[in-house]
Chains A and B, each alone.
Chain A
Amino acid sequence: MVNLEFNEDQIDALKEFINISIGAATASLANLLDAFGTMHIPKIEVCNSSELAHKIESTIDLKSMYYATKQLFTGKFGGECMFVISEVSAKNLGRHLYNVTTPSRDDINDAVIELTNILTSTIVSRLTQELNTQVQFFVPSSQFIDAYSIVSSEDVADYSKIIIISTILDFKDQKINGNIYILTKDEAIESLRVLIDRKIEEIYG
């Protein structure tokens, strides 16, 4: 049985990696979505998959509707990246990307998928870069749902740890608040820990 707990130093290192990945993601987004994005300090948390539903509910407005986009990635480091963004933020995004005042549901879906795709690919690629593993990304799928339906127990059953990245993306005057949840399986966590320990070893000596 794999020990899936991270100690303080490991969490510190993981946060640093994610910080760097978010930096890369923000740069990609700014580049590709054609706007300067201010990178805010992402708030990073590692929790167990059983706590995910609770965590999500405690950080969002339960009365709003959300776009929840999921993108699966497989390989030795396998898992799922979920991006949750409020209807308001999604509309802003759609407006910006499609250059229309009232983006259609289809436009917004597509915009959210693009954003998720860029975020997932950049973050996961950066994290796995030094793991020397291949990652395959699958088609993202987006759902427009209420706060309570964002995650169900079947969704998280196969996963062990969730890395929660709360971030605010400022594009021009359009604030786009979103939360990124990286759902990982045991094997991925193990690979990650090996990498982190190696880095810690390198640096602390």
Chain B
Amino acid sequence: MKREFQLKILVVDDSKIGRMSVIKSLDIVKPDADIFQAVNGLEAVEIFKKERPDVVFLDLTMPVMDGYEALKQIMAIDKKAQVIVVSADIQNEAKLRVLAVGAKNMYPKPINDEVILQIFKQDLSV
């Protein structure tokens, strides 16, 4: 059966291994997806504008523009954007902050394929 659309996913993290970690798990759960990468918030917003990905995995602590700022801008571009925050900052307050701005959920690093599976089941609608 031919897929009607290619799932577009944007992975944002200043760390290469951080991005690869998410991408590897995505490979297992959504092998046909089209993956885009960004190394900071500014790049993330630019790629989001251009490609309008269906899902964004966003790190918080990044140089140039951090994840929190990028999240705000992305939500401003498309209030229906589906953003999952993946961060080393695991404080509850941090989670509340990002949820308030419009993220679908926040998970601590490192993420694995089980968590990705759960994310697609519970947090996203694709």
Contact = CB atoms under 8 A, between A and B. Distances in A.
Contacts, number: 58
Interface residues of B, number: 21
A34 interface: no
Interface in A141-174: none
B88 A39 contact: yes
Contact of A23 (B62, B63, B89): B89
A12 B17 contact: yes
Interface in B39-87: 61-63, 66, 87
Given A41-B63, A204-B20, A12 B15 contact: yes
Contacts of B93: 30, 36
Nearest to B93: A36
* Interface of A (DSSP majority class): helix
A9 interface: yes
Contacts of A12: 15-17
A39 B89 contact: yes
Interface of A: 9, 12-13, 15-16, 19-20, 22-24, 26-27, 30, 36-37, 39-41, 199-200, 202-205
Interface of B: 15-18, 20-21, 24, 61-63, 66, 87-91, 93-94, 108-110
Closest 6 CB pairs of A and B: A23-B88, A41-B61, A39-B89, A19-B88, A16-B15, A20-B88
